[in-house]
Structure formats: C-alpha cells, structure tokens
Structure 1
Amino acid sequence: MSLRARPAVAASIGGAHAPMSTPSTVHLPRGFTLIEMMVVVLIIGILLTFASLGVGNHTLEDTLDTESRRLIELFKLAQEEAEIKGWEIGFRYTDTHYQFLGLSDEGRWIFLPEGPLRARAIAEPLTLTLRVDDHPVPPAQNVDDDSQAPPTSNNAAASKPKAVIEPQVMVLSSGELTPFTLDVRAPGLTTYYRISGDLVGRLERQRLEDDRWH
C-alpha cells in the first residue's frame, strides 16, 4: 500500500503567498549638541537685552513727559494764584529741586510751605536748564528749610541768620512773566521738553530734538 503525499496548505486564501513583513526601523529623537544649546542661549540673551533696553527707554520717556507736563501746569497755577490773590510769586531751581517762592510779611522771599506749589524734587535722572532773557542761569544753592522757618524759643533757626534766597523767574500779579526757557532733559535721550514763558504771560510746552545727537 503506497502513501500519497499531502498537498501543501496555501499560506493565504486564494492560494497567493503573502509577502513576509520586515520590522520597520525606529528613529529615536536626536538630542541637542552643546554648540546648538550655546547658540540658543546666546540668542535668548541678546533678545532679552534689547527688550530691557526698550522698556528702560520707554519708562524714561514717560518720566520726562510727566515731569515737563507737571512743570507747565505748576507755572499756570502760579499765574492764577498771583493774579487772583495779588501776590508776587518767584521760581528757583537747584541741582535737585525746584521751588516756588512767596514774599513774607517782612518782605523776604520764602518757600511756599505746602500745597501744589511746594518744593519738589527733580525726578531722577532728569536735569533742568534755565535761561532768562536768553542768558544761562546756573542752579541755585540748596537751602536748608530750617533756615527759612520763623524763629521760636524751641527752634534752632532763631540762633542763626536766615539764608537769603532770590527768585530766578518772576510770576507777577499783573499776569506778566520774566521771559524764560526751562529745558527738561534725560541722559541718553535726544528728545527733550522746553517750557517757555514770555513777558505778557504766555506759557508753552514744546517737544524738541537735540541737534547735538545728529
């Protein structure tokens, strides 16, 4: 009795042989090299530097604008006070402050002690430059407020002479002004503001560019 060979079983339906699949290659993500990381850090540092410089200049420009607006409004207020109350009011500035002055009962110029026209510090790092009748006027010397106080039994100012202060600009009760220009500047900025007043009492604020930087 002979044995017949068993027919081969098809690998797939229909008798077609399915191709054998091969495992696909897995690509793992490549990390940054040291040089690439250093370049990224350098670029971030440069961007942050420019951003900080932009914010700093913007803040300084805002301070310059605010201080110049305050100054012209204070001059306008001094004009109103002088005309309404019949006062003569003076203005002076130092390296660190600007002050409005009034006449005491003894006829001396004294600081206005309170209210909007009180002495104010110049916002750092701004500087003021005054010209009167087109002549430069240097900053006045700082004066201790105690030397302006009226003498009392408990006041040390009674034992020392009062400091003499004089206005650099006059705001008259007639509405007239000492002709002046007051420049408000900030270091590193070409833009500055000029407060000006003329003899008939007109006040103006201008935004200017410094030609020395061009």
Structure 2
Amino acid sequence: MSASRGLWITLEGGDGSGKTTQARLLHEWLEGTGRTVVRTREPGGTEVGVLIRDIVLHHRGDIAPRAEALLYAADRAHHVETLVRPALARGEVVIQDRYLDSSVAYQGAGRVLDATEVRGLSLWAADGALPDVTVLLDLDPATARARLDAADKPFDRLESEKDEFHARVRAAFLALAAEEPERFLVLDASRPVEDLAAAIRARIQPLL
C-alpha cells in the first residue's frame, strides 16, 4: 500500500498488551496533524465482522480450529474489500487492531495449525494486502494475564486459553517480526504508555 494513497497501520500483540490504548493515542495524534483517520479492528470492523466476532470470541461451544481460521479469513476478506481499501484509496490513515499476523499466531501457533497455510489463506482472502507498518506490542503472558485480571471483565474464548497457548502465540509474533523487520516495529509493552506512544509516532512520522 502506497503511503501517497493512504497509510495502513496495524497493531498486534497478545491480549492485554495495550493495543487499544495505543490505537487511541495514535488516532488522537494523527487527527491533530490534520489527517483523516479510520480506526477499525479484526474481527468486527464491519457489520458482517461483528457477527463473526460474536461467533469466534463468544460462542459457548467448541469451534474446530480450521473452522475458526476460516471464519477469521471470511471477516478479513470482507473487511479489507469494503472498508480498508476504500479508505486508503481516499488517502486516509487506517489504524487497525489485529490483522493476518494474529491469525498466524493464534490459529497457526496457538491452535497448532500449519502457519504457512494460515498465512496463505489470509493473503488469499485479502487479495495480498499487507499494511505499511505493523506495531507489535510484546508482553510476557503472565504480565498480560495480570492486566486482564485487573480489568475485571469476562474473558473471551482466546483470552481463556491456557498459558502454553499464549506462550506459543507470543513466540509466533516475535518470529513473524524477525522475518519482516522492515514492516514490524517491536516494542516492549511493559514500558510506560507515553514512551510507547512516542516510539510509535517516531516510526509513523516519516511516512506522513
């Protein structure tokens, strides 16, 4: 995606790593520079996505791992085609909470599916679309779980998984970042919120 036709930023990381907070701060800063910002998420960035989000995160019964991966891919296909690409074509900045790297980490590593196949499925669903910058907020699972516990909210299906699951997810995220250092900005999510926000702004500023 060319920055001249908009800028696409995704935020990745385990649950409790602070993606929502950093997305909000980045949104506020970008609007302050005069940019038009579209803030979205996967799953759930569209009406169709809201329905899929309810299934994959809040369905009380089991969902087969391959079915889960396909549901995320279906959301991604619709989301990119109907929301992300049009916003970028208008020259807007898209800030997105989770994208295909989450599928590779959660369904590939977490659910122990073939990561290459999961990534290929996502790329096919999104017609090859990749973001300009991916911010990975890295946090060890124990600290992340403590943050989630402190929030005192019900856990969704993925948040409820065991420590081993979340350890695999974290390792997969770091491996993805190592494979694509030009796209990823990896930050220690235990750092102060404002320090993280400043580091993200420094990475984004030259692209505006």
Q: Establish whether TM, by shorter chain, passes 0.5.
A: no
TM-score, normalized by length of structure 1? 0.25
Which structure: greater strand fraction?
Answer: 1
TM-score, normalized by length of structure 2? 0.26
Which structure: greater helix fraction?
Answer: 2
State the structure with more CA Rg.
1
Ranked by relative contact order (alpha carbons within 8 Å, sequence separation 6 or more), the top structure is 2
